[in-house]
Structure 1
Amino acid sequence: MSVSPRRLRAGALALATLAIISTTACTAGGGGGNANGGAATTLTVNTSFVLKTLDPGRVYEATGLTAVHALYDTLVTFEGSDVGTPVPALAESYEASADATTFTFKLRSGVTFSDGSPLTADDVVFSLNRLKNIKGSPAVTVSELSVSKTDDSTVVVTSATPNPNVPVVLAMPSTGVINAKVAQENGAKDGEDAAQGDTAQQYLDTNSIGSGPYVLKSYDPSAQVVLEANPNYWGDKPQFDRVVLRNMDVQTQKLTMQRAEAAEISLDISGKLLDGLPESLQTSGVQDTVYFLFLNADPAVSAVTSNAKFNQALRAAIDYQGIAALYGEGAAPGAGLVAPAFPGTLPEGEASTRDVAKAKALLAEAGLDNPTVTFNYPAITYKGVDLGTVATKVQGDAAEAGITLELNPQPLTTFLDEMRGGKSPLGFTPQSLNYPVADSLINNMAPGQATALRSGWTVQRADPAVVAAGEQVTETLDLAARATAMQEWQRLMNQSSPYIVLASNSSTVVATADLTGADYSAAGWQVDVAAVGRR
């Protein structure tokens, strides 16, 4: 991927909020040092911490994923901004059964943990069983998987149902392989009682026991996390001997990057916040976040939003190009629920367009004269964009078609409570994938699923064609064909679902001009710090 100074490089979760956790600074074991000889080099990473733990079996938040990806290797991984093609990591190769239920991984030889001890299939089996059985937030991704070994270098992962995305799941940082012996000595368990008996989190928060390119040097979740190069790393040594993750609000990040000269990156400057940065800085971004309206399909909640003609009228009333412009650099008008970062996204040419005359005609067909709807949204700024600004734009667009939207900005907790309780007639929210499997949306947003039911969208209220299209996705085992099926599902969703996609927006890595490999990844770890080097 070529580098364009100050030009967004395009590659390809539920509403995210920041958590600030205070604790006492701790020093980790494992050492480190200068793996490359000569003067030590440091890469500084500025980010607003979303950090609860560095325990791979429990890690779920963005900052933790960035660090854990550097500390623990997984069976497979992704390179750069590509989240569609798993590549070998601990496994030198793997085979999938024709029915997508059995995956056999051949481990590469010569891999050691940071303490020099060899990594074997037993460590992989222990790590994945522990992830599943401690039942932390990321366990949902492996809940249907079982794992065993056939010998010290062969691991078999079996899915209870056909699932061609198993290799993608096994690239996630939460599946990082830990040193089973050391983990067990410090309270880790992998049995069915692990949810109650595992006590290893405190140890794993302050000590890294993986085989990754870095080891944990210090951990202060309120201020900074320091990584040092692993002297026993089995792969290509990282160019930087030391990585410092610094907790910093986004405005301070911008001021810092305006003065930065070398070896520094920021992870939270995106959209309009990119305006005014020096042209010498690099930006790497992918459109991984979708912003959409949800209309309640339950007549008992709203006789207006549950009206199919009103749904289509509001879709036609919106100025999608104008809304995308509010997000700034790296945004695009909405096309479908799958963001462009992921396989299965709709082509750019299928982005929604505005037709006010059509909107007015649809309202007349529905017998609605100046319908009025309460419009809830969280009163927050997300990825550099005030959601109130977008809501006001939607309100103005709707008014031109004869629709009155009464803006109701809410504290985030209030908004979430009303949304989850199915009480919002009309709402607005961003959405990102927790892991890069776009067809997981079927399990949440298809008729009758959890997210759909929050909008009163039952199977009985849905077009049977939408239900059938969703079933077609899950029944398709070839990933390329599944991506095509996802496109067809989205086209049907755009015709009658309660979701109106407004825009897709980019997450961005901003880096000084001397760096290479500072590519944003939608895989969850944001940037692979071990891949960052100097020109």
Structure 2
Amino acid sequence: MSTERTAWLTIAMQRRRFLRLTSLGAGLIGAGLLGACARPPATPTTAAPTAAPAPGQTPAPAASPTPVTAATGGTFVIARLTDTITLDPSRQYELTSPIVMGACYERLVTIQPPDIRTVQPHLAEKFDITQDVTTYTFTLREGVRFASGNQLTSADVVFSFNRLRELKDNPSWLADIIQAMETPDARTVRIRLTEPNAAFLAMLVSPNFSILDSTVVKQQGGTDQPGADKTDKATEWLNQNSAGSGPFVLKGWVKEQEIVMERNPNYWGQPAALERVIIRHIPDPTTQRQLLESGDVDAAHNLDGDLIAELEQAGTAQIVRGDTLDTEYFAMHTSPEIGKELADKRVRQAIAYAIDYDGIIQQILRGAAVRPPSVIPSGLLGVTEAEDARYQTNLERARQLLGEAGLANGFDLTLTFSSGGTEVGGVSSEVLASKIADDLRKVGIRVTLDPRAPDVRLADYRAGKLQCTISGWTPDFLDPHGWAIPFGVPGEAAAKRVAYNNPQVADLFQRAARTADPQERARLYAEGQRLLNEDAPFLCLYQPKAQIAVGKNVQGYVFDPVIGVDLSKVRKS
């Protein structure tokens, strides 16, 4: 084993010991994201979906909840680092709150993991999309009532979406694409967009699009009118109570202590098996493990790879795994002024061939990750179609490209990372940067590691000042649109940070967003990814898996990349 490899492995071992004393275990990342998923087929199916709902097509409603067959009742306790700032569905934008949103509120459409590509009707019994993907019409289910007993109507949908936009809080931008909403009757909502957008249905899976009981929220001082950012008074009440139609109701929240939910006695669907759910703030992963093994908690959300492996070996818990849609990537500035040698795409391609991706996944992440061909995560539309564009480690090809670029003797490169930081999947920023530096040195690239405070690194990256860096991307909604535009269109979030500009890539991704046909969308996204990879401004390093430990007596726990877990399906035997 080389001295260089020994160095980064030593850092990794030290970091793993540190993670046991902190809240940065891999289970945290990806549990409860703010989004939806890629365009799906219209009718739910057990087969792998290949097509989205065709415009004008009415999909079948989601199947009725499966009757509970195991013993029902009891309290389910989750141990995790809680980052909750608010439990107002129209304001929340953190990682813990979506678990509560999924339990106490519902949305027009949903997904049923592990199938994350099929958007299914939920509070809506059907939807219709115009051919130009500018108008979405939803027909609401009959007989749905909120926990208050009030009946769900189209007015509640309009209120919820307007309030999301008018609060002008972190997630409000999600509703900016809505131009107008019409309610022809109490069960019909027609939404017109400001521009064609085939991703809008997937966006509606986001917990921020939860439907609120407008009567109750208004009684608590809530409003959906312009100026709501200054006049709405409902958030304080919503932090302690819920106003939804979900299988649970919120009973209280004490910051950095616990969140308590109880079964909704007025739920319109199949009642939840559990009587009560408590999310306890337990930041220490080792303590989480001990409480799980003693039976004091039923799920541990923040265990690192070592603790997961120890639990599996001991046989004292079940390990639930699922695919997140977070990605970790390597970014390279494309301008001569900042990127210097990286301005030559042959040099960027050489780096793409030099990185030991398998080593990162197997040695640092203990195999708990996959690697999509581009920055768009596996599981989304158009990714499988781009598999032929994936870079594989090839040191000979890397050296050849450097020689063609006139850099046969290598060059100096500054790799900036977050000092003391953690990347997606709970990976130490220092460990990952050190591993990449070791890989690049094998082809003659002399890497200087440049640690900066996490907020400084992020600010400098956003300002386009870094030659190269490692960074993570977590989605706001789970459609390829949520990656294609930021990474592929000049001036957008990630592209502008590295001065990336390829009009052909931008055109392909923008056309995909306006295209209704899912097969054509997939083709456009795949072609855009091939060209993006050829330019190589961004290299996907890995896509981490969620790993959650649950008690041996727990059934029905499935990881959900949108809400963390559907608690209505969880039960204890």
SS at match of 2:85: coil
Match of 2:415 in 1: 375
**In structure 1, the residue corresponding to 2:325 is in which secondary structure?**
strand
2:331 alignment counterpart:
294
What amino acid does structure 2 have at the position aligned with 1:289? D
What residue in structure 1 maps to residue 20 of structure 2?
A: none
Using structure 2 for the length normalisation, give the TM-score.
0.82
Q: Secondary structure at the match of 1:288?
A: coil
SS in 2 for 1:304: helix
1:279-318 residue pairs with structure 2 within 5 A? 279=315, 280-318=317-355
Alignment match, 1:21: none
In structure 2, the partner of 1:152 is 186
1:298 aligned partner, one-letter code: S
Q: Determine the structure 2 residue equivalent to 1:485.
A: 524
Alpha-carbon deviation of 1:126?
Answer: 0.8
Q: How big is each residue's C-alpha offset from its partner over 1:350-378, in whole Å with a ceiling of 9 and x where there is no partner?
A: 64211111111211221223211110111
- Establish whether residue 509 from structure 1 lines up as the match of residue 548 from structure 2: yes
- In structure 1, give the amino acid aligned to 2:186: D
Report the equivalent of 2:369: 331
Provide the rounded CA distance (Å) in 2 between the counterparts of 1:342 and 1:250. Answer: 33
Determine the structure 2 residue equivalent to 1:20.
Answer: none
* Distance of aligned partners of 1:42 and 1:68 in 2 relative to their CA distance in 1, 3 Å threshold: same
Contact residue 291 and residue 431 of structure 1 kept, 8 A: yes
With 192-201 and 207-216 compared, the bigger mean Cα shift is at 192-201
Is 1:79 aligned to residue 112 of structure 2?
A: yes
Correspondence for 1:412: 454
Instruction: Identify the residue that residue 421 of structure 1 maps to in structure 2.
Output: 463
Please give the alpha-carbon distance, in whole angstroms, between the structure 2 residues aligned to 1:480 and 1:271: 38
What is the CA-CA distance between 1:261 and the residue it aligns to? 4.5
Mapped pair 1:345 → 2:383: yes
Name 2:558's counterpart in structure 1. 519
Instruction: Give the stretch that moved more between structures: 63-72 or 361-370.
Output: 361-370
Contact 1:177 1:210 in 2 (8 A): yes
Whether 2:509 is the aligned partner of 1:474: answer no
* Kept after mapping to 2: 8 A contact 1:284/1:518: no
Secondary structure of the corresponding residue to residue 218 of structure 2: helix
- 1:355-366 matches, cutoff 5 A: 355-366=394-405
Q: Supply the distance in 2 between the matched residues of 1:151 and 1:312 (Cα, whole angstroms).
A: 57
Post-superposition offset of 1:282: 2.8
2:482 paired residue number: 440
Distance 1:310 1:350 in 2: 17
State the distance in 2 between where 1:274 and 1:241 align.
28
- In structure 2, give the amino acid aligned to 1:497: A
Structure 2, unaligned runs of 5 or more: 1-29, 34-67
Q: Quick one: distance in 2 between partners of 1:157 and 1:263?
A: 43
| Partner of residue 143, structure 1 | 176
Distance 1:198 1:221 in 2: 22
Query: 3-state SS of the aligned residue for 2:77?
Result: strand
Mapped to 1, the partners of 2:384 and 2:412 lie a distance apart of 32
Shift of 1:344: 2.9
Alpha-carbon offset, residue 519 of structure 1: 1.1
For the residues of structure 1 that align with 2:322 and 2:287, how far apart are their CA atoms? 17
Question: How far apart are residue 458 of structure 1 and its match?
Answer: 4.3
Alpha-carbon distance between aligned partners in 1 of 2:565 and 2:73, rounded to the nearest angstrom: 21
CA distance in 1, matches of 2:402, 2:446: 12
Match of 1:52 in 2: 85
The equivalent of 1:123 in structure 2 is: 156
- 3-state SS of 1:206 partner: coil
Q: Is the 8 A contact 1:271 1:331 kept in 2?
A: no
SS at match of 1:135: coil
Letter in 1 for 2:303: I
CA RMSD of aligned residues (A): 2.3
Whether 1:276 aligns to 2:310 is yes
Report SS of the residue matched to 1:85: strand
**1:475 partner amino acid:** R
Q: Percent of aligned pairs with the same residue?
A: 27
Structure 2 Cα separation of the partners of residues 419 and 296 of structure 1: 10
Deviation at 1:250, TM superposition (A): 5.0
Structure 2 counterpart of 1:252, one-letter code: T
Once the two structures are TM-superposed, the CA of residue 254 in structure 1 deviates from its matched residue by 4.8
- 1:244 to partner: Cα distance: 0.4
Alignment CA distance shift 1:509-1:255 (3 Å): closer
Contact 1:73-1:212 within 8 A present in 2 as well: yes
- Return the offset for 1:55: 0.5
Aligned partner of 2:468: which letter?
Answer: L
Match of residue 32 from structure 1? none
User: Does the alignment pair 1:533 with 2:571?
Assistant: yes
The alpha carbon displacement at 1:253 in A equals 5.5
1:133/1:94 CA distance change after superposition, 3 Å: same
Query: Given the two structures, how large is their TM-score scaled by the length of structure 1?
Result: 0.88
The verdict on how the C-alpha distance between 1:134 and 1:393 changes in structure 2, with shifts beyond 3 A counting, is same
AA at the equivalent of 1:135: K
CA 151–270 in structure 1, closer or farther in 2 if over 3 Å, else same: farther
Change (3 A) 1:174 1:315: same
